[in-house]
A and B are shown apart, each in its own frame.
Chain A
């Protein structure tokens, strides 16, 4: 019993990603066609060359037919999957294993979400009929529990913590402003972020990721075949996933300053990739900044900062686009937007661009290893995905 990983056995040879945002003129099927068309072109393959598909969407459709019908895929396996906000990454992980197993030569992982048709503020999800006793907190409320807990545990006063989380939002907007595909493409003054209308707890509107429509896709093959499709493939070093037992909901010792699921999935991923010191060895990361305080806590759970020190690293600019360890160089969920099923693959799209030197104005100098991290659920009860990729 062990997690062996598939280091350097699978390559990503093509990717596509739509702009994220309010696509009033496009349905989920249109977004899927846009992302897949880009990905086929990027890998220089005809659709017929792809042997199997994994489609991630939280709620913009059901079954593989959502994809096969939109793309007129003729009688091939299309798996539809869902793992909350980590859905897109799950499509990639399962597709990668299919290639590694030798079952298929060329596969595609696709994610999509169409959120802006609901007419509601924030994220809306349906759940099976229940007894009416489940907590009805909104996503920002659940994640806002992190901020006062972190402040208390590490003796950071709430004013300073507000500065810290506002700086995270500011940084991600600065990055997103340089990204033509991001939902929000302008820098936002830090004072405006700090004074934005309250949504939940310490969070204002600018502490929350964008609700958006979008789709992203990746084409994968065995590493030895990668150069048939592109001169600059990227290689999967690690894929890890952890679903928690909801310990934080039951155990009084859980203090809302960490995601154990992230700690565990990172440990597995670093072991697979041979990373001993993530703070030094990971060149860049796309992490699940659904809310600003989430990104703060993630820096510690992922080993980028020591416990209780991430707030200082944030203020020091360590994770800025031009800092020593850029985090969310594409703008993150905050600025790029968060169409649930597409986000994990959007993160990988940034790794694809950065590792190939195609990230334009936000290109990081000579990145070696990139990390993507995707979280679904809430503090104390969540799923966590981590990948490490490199050249």
Chain B
């Protein structure tokens, strides 16, 4: 189980990386390596060229701007996990971080790597789907932004062109006092979730829900926003019955069978976890902005 032969490139700028990507045949970008390296060791991936992004300047940052939280592609998952800005501005992401792999993988793994690899049961794509993230990529013709709803293109595939490099992702903010909840079911601590659910709720001063996001991960080629569940809740108070009824809309998502679980179980979990995530989010709405983080309750 050793990597196949390849040529190694370690550009210093994104533009260089893009040029390499555009000019080399069968090239692969290497970010944190927590997905690509196993694939190389197992020879599932056999690139002729590996373009290592770890020495590219200026891709590791977490900053707040008018559009929310902007995160550089090579920001390590560890840095997101311990970031006060992430806790404050995207507590949903903060709640999901400790569920990603293990200490050793979060020390290396990056947000851009996770998004580019795009495993549908991974936590970061689910959070990005939930908050309508915007991905910024650079290609030979310059930069462009991709709204997250347009980012997935199939199993383990994104809509980035083959010669584009993911530069950053922006997580638009939810109003202060919003509630969030991330729930997943994994067989063991740190495993990929069989199914995950992310919920975000904003409510008006009258207690009625004004805005809601419900996302299910791990149940198809990409995390799935359940519009029917969201629509069912807007204008309602977050009663247990309303949240449960909304979660029921998650049952009919097209799901896949694999060695870990049949499709029907995934659909069942989607309902259960959506309800739990909504309940957690609503509890936080009721607790008010002073209590943004209850920490994972699983």
A binds B: no
Give B residues with C-beta under 8 Å from A: none
